[in-house]
Amino acid sequence: MKTRITELFGIQHPIIQGGMHFVGLADLAAAVSNAGGLGLITALTQRTPEDLAREIARCRTMTDKPFGVNLTFLPSVTPPDYPGYVKAIIDGGVKIVETAGNNPVKWLPALKEAGVKVIHKCTSVRHALKAEAIGCDAISVDGFECGGHPGEDDVPNFILLPRAAEELKVPFVASGGMADARSLVAALALGADGMNMGTRFMATVEAPIHQNVKQAIVNASELDTRLVMRSLRNTERVMVNAGVERLLEKERTLGAGLKFEDIIGEVAGVYPSVMQRGEMDAGAWSCGMVAGLIHDIPTCQQLMDTIMGDATKIIRSRLEGMLAA
């Protein structure tokens, strides 16, 4: 399948594996890229720029296909060594970066000078237009359904994607609620040039996370996520569990008086406990509503082959068949 995204990134299929904390390691990124998509290493999972450089090098031993790095810019009193991470990306010869969080304008000159293509994750059309204006090459449009941070506008992809198509000139992919061929064909119909999948890629053989997490996603329905930290304007969609229920109870009890410090036990340092040790009730971990569409744990190659094969059938048989009728 040929779209503006496959052309921009030099990939076979218009499918991207989004950046995910303690999930986006070389193992998964390489598997997705080898299957014809675009795999991404999550930079901030690596504790230092030197660790990221080693992970990039490790990924190169596992694939000769294009892969990228996700770099999320977070507001922080003591921010990560962003100049070091950017240098590691450039020195590692990575040519594709997914940025997220704060405006990446400060880092674009160095990335562009190194020939890096930048796709920025946005949860609104206005932010997508800003990303386009500052020189981002593509946009990942993140609907309200997504796992992680859906922004504060609560606009689902059936509205957000066609609105983005009306306004953007650069290519964009649909993110949030994407799981299968139906997702891909729908995203293309709504104006996107491909799709970004996070939660779906967590439930694959190569995802370097505990089997408990994969099985929890398979077992979940579309009703098993919750929105937390709304009052802090840091909304996150997470899988419901005992830790999340504790967090929500604190939000209900403290109301407008809630401070981040009140819930730090349910959100800070949770990912190693969940992703590596399989402690499913440790606290809040990102998961999309799309879990309700995930029923198996295939290899990345099997997943990609199924999506592309089924997408062809939907377009050529179902949709064309309706026209013929």
Place of tokens 């999550």: 42
Confidence band (pLDDT; 50, 70, 90) for 201?
Answer: very high
What's the confidence (pLDDT) of residue 75?
78
pLDDT (mean) for 26-35: 98
Residue 6 pLDDT grade (very low, low, confident, very high; cuts 50, 70, 90): very high
Candidates 128, 104, 126, 127; CA nearest to 117 is 104
20-22-24 Cα angle (round to 5):
50
What's the confidence (pLDDT) of residue 60?
A: 98
Q: How many domains does the chain have?
A: 2
pLDDT tens, position by position, 99-154: 999 999 999 999 999 999 999 999 999 999 999 999 999 999 999 999 999 999 99
Q: What is the pLDDT of residue 325?
A: 60
Mean pLDDT on 295-301: 98
Q: Which two tokens stand for residue 285?
A: 């971990």
Same domain, 126 and 234: no
Closest C-alpha among 126, 79, 124 to residue 106: 79
Phi, psi of 237 (to 5 degrees): -90, 125
Average pLDDT over residues 39-53: 98
Tokens of 266: 């349910």
Considering the domain architecture, whether residues 28 and 141 belong to the same structural domain is answered as: yes
Q: Mind giving me the DSSP string for 170-193?
A: S-EEEESS--SHHHHHHHHHTT-S
Q: E strand or H helix at 227, and its extent?
A: strand 225-228
Query: Above 70 in pLDDT, residue 223?
Result: yes
Q: Report pLDDT for 74.
A: 86
Residues 68 and 127 in one domain: yes
DSSP label at residue 325: -
Can you give the pLDDT at residue 255? 94
Same domain, 177 and 218: no
Shared domain check, 155 and 43: yes
Please indicate, yes or no, whether residues 191 and 218 belong to a single structural domain of this protein: no
Average pLDDT in the chain: 97
SS3 assignment, position 120: strand
**Are residues 220 and 129 part of one domain?**
no
Same domain, 170 and 315: yes
Q: What is the mean pLDDT of residues 181-193?
A: 98
For residues 60-70, average pLDDT:
98
Maximum distance among all alpha carbons in the chain? 62
Same-domain pairing of 63 and 95: yes
Q: Are residues 152 and 11 in the same domain?
A: yes
276 and 202, same structural domain? no
Shared-domain flag, residues 137 and 222: no
Question: How much is the pLDDT for 76?
Answer: 77
Among 6-20, 69-83, 276-290, the least confident range: 69-83
Spell out a b/e string for 268-293, using b for 16 or more CB atoms within 10 Å of the CB, else e. eebbebbbeebbbebbbbbbbbbbbb
Q: Which domain holds residue 271?
A: 212-289
Whether pTM > 0.85 for this model: the answer is: yes
In CATH, what number is assigned to the domain containing residue 124?
A: 3.20.20.70
List, for residues 71-95, the tens digit of each pLDDT value: 999 877 789 999 999 999 999 999 9
User: Are the C-beta atoms of 231 and 255 separated by less than 8 Å?
Assistant: yes
